[in-house]
Structure 1
Amino acid sequence: MRTSTVTTAVVTASVSVALLAGCGGDSGDEGKPFEGQSADDIAAKAVEATRQAKSMHVKGDTRLEDGSTVTIDVSVDQQKNCQGTIGAGGTRADVRHTDATLYLHGDEQYWQTALEQQPGAARKLQDKWVKMPANDATTAGVCDKQGFVAAMDEDESERQGMKRGSTTEVNGEEALKLTKDASGGEKLTLYVATEGEPYILKTTTEGGKNPGSVTFSEYGETVDPEQPPAGETVDMKEIAGGQQA
């Protein structure tokens, strides 16, 4: 059992989201949500329900070992349509993925950090949507809903030792807490919706090297980002090629 990290490198700046890997074997409490079901069963159902959801909104932050914070606030669907914001170390960029193309609109500090080896290129990207290379798999990963879920469940053998907790509310929805004291002083908590589909509503990691919190909401809602206007768009491949020349 550990905290999985979904890491997406956007140009040279990375964005990480701490996500819980799984669950444990504690038995259910009579008369309470998921009566008679173990923590293992509950979390397995939560992962599968989240995997099957057509779309969701992911919002959270994680602190890295160097003290900086990475953030994500993105709506994404199974077709990798997405829109929102990402950030790292005080920088920020808007992101859109539509028609199999990823676009970024970063602030000045974002591009200066991302393109520190190409200072001239950063100036050309002010107030522009930047079309990222189609083969940049790490960049497109920020808009990969199924990738998030896969990272949460990448090692089923680590799903041991979580316990059922009390019910609480996450963004107005009732949730059951599953908790675990993990190695390295980490405390992991997974919140599972008790009504309707057993979606994952929130994960938290307290203590350890990468504390953070991520919420999941707006399941099934349409994600329909607009393609940026051509006059406000530049192609990263052309910028990089011009710098090399």
Structure 2
Amino acid sequence: MKRNAVLTAALVCLAATGLAGCGEQGSDEPFAGQSADDIAAKAVKATRDAESVRIAGTSKPQGAPQAMTVDFQVDEQDNCQGTMSMKDAKADVRQAGQSAYVKGNEPFWQAALQGQPGTDKAIAQLQGKWVKSKPGDSSTQGMCDKQSMLAAMDDDKSERKGLKRGETTEVEGKEALTLTKEQGDGEKLTLYVATEGEPFILKTVTQGGKQPGEATFTDYNAKVRVEQPPAGEVVDPAKVSVSG
């Protein structure tokens, strides 16, 4: 009797579901059964493992007079191109392998040279030119190193512990799951993680705290094509004259 009852129940289930199967069905919920912390860990890994990414955003450290805005496309081969600005100071940056170039406006060079002797004469020679520099120098440090740009996500893993799952939303046309965390100092962190394909981070937002800001992450694994500036537009900083 018991065996027949089980068989009957199975047949009823098959008929009711159109032979689609019985028991627990798959969930449409993104990252079903995974904790917010686990999702964040996978998102950080996927983002750091990507061949390339475009990062655009703003940041205003506590006490800084103005926010810094950046828009950089970088890859694992030290190729990058982008812009950075703070108030009136703006600069374009290119790097192909071991060759890095910066083209800044007058306010940018004023800030970079900080009133050193001969600043005005130096700036006159730098206007409209690409200044060749070594990768990682003080003017572009970290900007063209993909792993350096993303290292903060993974330096202190405790910062991405204790996250909570939120609602799904859209970032740049892609569906994303929100993960949030509130710190004791009034800081709130929100991560937006792609729900389809690789769990890439699509956006981060930090409200309050010592360094509020936000950044979007797009163009994952896209080819970064960097053109070397024309030779006639390149200046060797070592040859810039500041005397006489």
TM-score tier by shorter-chain length is 0.7 to 0.9
Q: Between 196-205 and 87-96, report the one with greater CA deviation.
A: 87-96
Which residue of the other structure, out of 79, 88, 91, is the alignment partner of 1:90?
88
2:224 is aligned with 1:223: yes
Q: Distance in 2 between matches of 1:138 and 1:91?
A: 12
Secondary structure at the aligned position of 2:33 is classed as coil
Q: Distance in 2 between matches of 1:150 and 1:133?
A: 21
Secondary structure at the aligned position of 2:179 is classed as strand
Other-structure match for 2:21: none
Secondary structure at the aligned position of 2:222 is classed as coil
Other-structure match for 2:242: 243
The alpha-carbon deviation at position 86 of structure 1 amounts to 0.7
Secondary structure at the aligned position of 1:164 is classed as strand
The alpha-carbon deviation at position 66 of structure 1 amounts to 2.8
CA offsets, 1:202-230, max 9 Å, x none? 00011223221100000011101100011
Instruction: Determine if contact 2:162/2:181 at 8 Å carries over to the other structure.
Output: yes
Are the structure 2 counterparts of residues 150 and 210 from structure 1 closer, same or farther at C-alpha, using a change threshold of 3 Å?
A: closer
Other-structure match for 2:30: 33
Q: Between 153-162 and 193-202, report the one with greater CA deviation.
A: 153-162
Q: Distance in 2 between matches of 1:53 and 1:43?
A: 15
Other-structure match for 1:50: 47
Q: Which has the higher strand share?
A: 1
CA offsets, 1:127-162, max 9 Å, x none? 100101356277242011111222210012333221
Q: Which amino acid aligns with 1:204?
A: V
Greater C-alpha radius of gyration: 2
Cα-Cα RMSD: 1.8
CA offsets, 1:165-221, max 9 Å, x none? 000000000000000111321111000000000000000011223221100000011
Instruction: Determine if contact 1:69/1:90 at 8 Å carries over to the other structure.
Output: no
Q: Between 159-168 and 191-200, report the one with greater CA deviation.
A: 159-168
Q: Which amino acid aligns with 1:47?
A: V
- Greater relative CO, 1 or 2 (CA 8 Å, sep 6+): 1
Q: Which amino acid aligns with 2:73?
A: S
Paired residues in the alignment total 214
Q: Which amino acid aligns with 1:159?
A: R
Q: Which amino acid aligns with 2:224?
A: V
TM-score, L = length of structure 2: 0.82
Q: Which amino acid aligns with 2:50?
A: A
The alpha-carbon deviation at position 243 of structure 1 amounts to 3.1
Q: Percent identity?
A: 54
Other-structure match for 2:18: none
TM-score, L = length of structure 1: 0.82
Other-structure match for 1:60: 57
Unmatched tracts of structure 2, length 5 or more: 1-26
Q: Distance in 2 between matches of 1:180 and 1:210?
A: 15
Which residue of the other structure, out of 101, 105, 108, is the alignment partner of 1:107?
105
